[in-house]
Structure 1
């Protein structure tokens, strides 16, 4: 993981950047390179902007990051700092301006900036203790129901173009598809959090996440099925509990069978989203799912059953399906060839074509999760943790 970055476009200056590399800095030649570097390294705490970087560009970068990443410190190096530059830098959010040959001054400024970032992180967690993300778990007892399509599109709809902070968790630890559906590099996954089990915090969780869009992050499943065997129930619980304090919504995609890890997510869920399609094997699996939810005392008013491919002409009416599964169908999602096209493009149809009927269905589901019936059941008794019942 990378905590520090040094930006310097001048090759001669970069050739003398040995002290930076010794202290664990990543060296990048242009500010524009940080557009890719920072999302891949969300744990970065410090950017040192070299003296050859254009002043206006450096100040614009600092002003933008002050809003987007308040924990990220920016130190500006100049050949000969003057009061006017210092004043502009402070207004833009630069933490310190240092003479480029003052090695000791740069080192001290970096220490002060990192200490400030860590203190701010602690303060933000303390002042934001009331934040508690709603956890939405998408489940289907049978594969091929479109569960991952619903999960990715629901997360996209909940993000509201970056207006809400959303985390999508791929909990299909053997064969998760979220990475390929969003065309994300599997450089990090939930298995990278195993070493932090029992002491996972916000910084640690951010270090294993992958950014998809602004305020839309993803915790990917392992690239290898064997790696998923080492992810325990307690780690899943810890991940979700930490994420609650960081996001507005946590959407969990699950495998088509019940595991201890899935039960951990369900026990922490505010909304349960079973997926049903109009075919008998799926109807049977969802009926068993509903009965399992009843057995585990998950509130019925918190279940939002999605009827996928609702317009399929297969001889089953909506009433037939509701009677078969023993539950009301909350959202009807039509069948469309545009859905697999969007999957192949790596862009959820909710983002790619917001006016599409499938997108509109996903927004209705997102609206239900974000509000709607939520206020009416807020006083419902909170269920006990499944582990305690056992």
Structure 2
């Protein structure tokens, strides 16, 4: 082991705003305890600084509604859904919507929406001027739907330039100036989870994802966020997948929404840089996403709700849910 290299890595992480570290291998309980300690420490520090309103999501003095999409497993369609929800909200509600890419080491929202970003959240975080809406707006990229986009850093190492306090300040200002803020976040971004009014956890019909989501739910419960969580079954209908009713039993909660799988529609939307809610709104995927958007906005669904009921579902051995 290169001790000098390890020490330099830890030094750089702490300089970037890291508050704790874990040594592999570690258990889910150790991870949950560490996140809870960091969360409580941050709230105490902000309270002493006179910023308790930023640290506590239960003091709801801001205007906007923050919707954070979250799952510690990659490949579940989180970024695709974040883009569709933000664009869908902007189109259907005609209200002010911001889409923030807080997947700081590998965010793809710019690619998904085919936008060229002159500046990113990393550049914004390094501004010496006090953060206000005028400064933030200079970094927001307008989308033809009416939504505004704040892209992720262009390279992974730039994530080190963004600390927790800067993100909390950003979200606080956005809440005062937008009706909806949709966040695509990397695993356990405390600022995005604390500030959220709703946390959408995505799950797919495969066992590795189920395992991740179980751990995610336990950690969110430890952080006191269980009341915010909504379970979204994404890419549903794959024949070999776990039965949706079994997923709901495993998590002891009903799915808030079920989004069907349609590889042709999804890939076409990604490659064209136009979300399904814009480009293929009449497809089953597009209708399901619009229905989810309507639920989040508190409006009646656009479709008759039959699409998700017609998705084929097949079960696997029940013992897979015994962990």
TM-score, length of structure 2 as denominator length = 0.70
Residue of structure 2 equivalent to 1:317: 243
Gaps spanning 5+ residues in structure 1: where?
A: 1-129, 374-390
Residue of structure 2 equivalent to 1:355: 282
Q: 1:307, 1:333 within 8 Å by CA — same for their partners in 2?
A: yes
Q: 2:89, 2:95 within 8 Å by CA — same for their partners in 1?
A: yes
1:236 corresponds to which of 167, 179, 182: 167
1:201 corresponds to which of 125, 132, 143: 132
How do 1:60-209 and structure 2 match up within 5 A? 132-160=63-91, 163-196=94-127, 199-209=130-140
- Match status 1:326 vs 2:252: yes
Structure 1 residues 8-33: Cα deviation after superposition (integer angstroms, max 9, x where no partner):
xxxxxxxxxxxxxxxxxxxxxxxxxx
Offset of 1:227 from its aligned partner? 0.8
- Match status 1:294 vs 2:294: no
Offset of 1:315 from its aligned partner? 4.8
Total equivalences in the alignment: 240
- Match status 1:338 vs 2:265: yes
Q: 1:287, 1:326 within 8 Å by CA — same for their partners in 2?
A: no
Quick one: distance in 2 between partners of 1:359 and 1:230? 37
Offset of 1:179 from its aligned partner? 0.5
Q: 1:198, 1:238 within 8 Å by CA — same for their partners in 2?
A: no
Offset of 1:196 from its aligned partner? 3.7
Residue of structure 1 equivalent to 2:229: 303
Quick one: distance in 2 between partners of 1:226 and 1:359? 35
* Structure-2 change in CA distance of 1:311 and 1:211 (3 Å): same
Q: 1:197, 1:235 within 8 Å by CA — same for their partners in 2?
A: no
Q: 1:134, 1:269 within 8 Å by CA — same for their partners in 2?
A: yes
Structure 1 residues 86-126: Cα deviation after superposition (integer angstroms, max 9, x where no partner):
xxxxxxxxxxxxxxxxxxxxxxxxxxxxxxxxxxxxxxxxx
Q: 2:122, 2:153 within 8 Å by CA — same for their partners in 1?
A: yes
Query: Cα RMSD (Å) of the superposition?
Result: 2.0
Offset of 1:335 from its aligned partner? 0.4
TM-score, length of structure 1 as denominator length = 0.59
Q: 1:169, 1:251 within 8 Å by CA — same for their partners in 2?
A: yes
* Structure-2 change in CA distance of 1:146 and 1:206 (3 Å): same
Structure 1 residues 223-256: Cα deviation after superposition (integer angstroms, max 9, x where no partner):
111111110111111111111122110000012x
State the SS of the aligned residue for 2:201. strand
Question: Is 228-237 or 291-300 further displaced after alignment?
Answer: 291-300
Quick one: distance in 1 between partners of 2:252 and 2:191? 24
Q: 1:133, 1:246 within 8 Å by CA — same for their partners in 2?
A: yes
Structure 1 residues 319-374: Cα deviation after superposition (integer angstroms, max 9, x where no partner):
2111233332110000002111100000001111112111221122212221269x
* Structure-2 change in CA distance of 1:157 and 1:296 (3 Å): same
Q: 1:183, 1:346 within 8 Å by CA — same for their partners in 2?
A: yes
* Structure-2 change in CA distance of 1:271 and 1:197 (3 Å): farther
* Structure-2 change in CA distance of 1:214 and 1:307 (3 Å): closer
State the SS of the aligned residue for 2:267. helix
State the SS of the aligned residue for 2:256. strand
* Structure-2 change in CA distance of 1:221 and 1:199 (3 Å): same
Quick one: distance in 2 between partners of 1:212 and 1:183? 10
* Structure-2 change in CA distance of 1:293 and 1:154 (3 Å): same
Quick one: distance in 1 between partners of 2:241 and 2:211? 16
Offset of 1:184 from its aligned partner? 0.8
Quick one: distance in 1 between partners of 2:298 and 2:145? 22
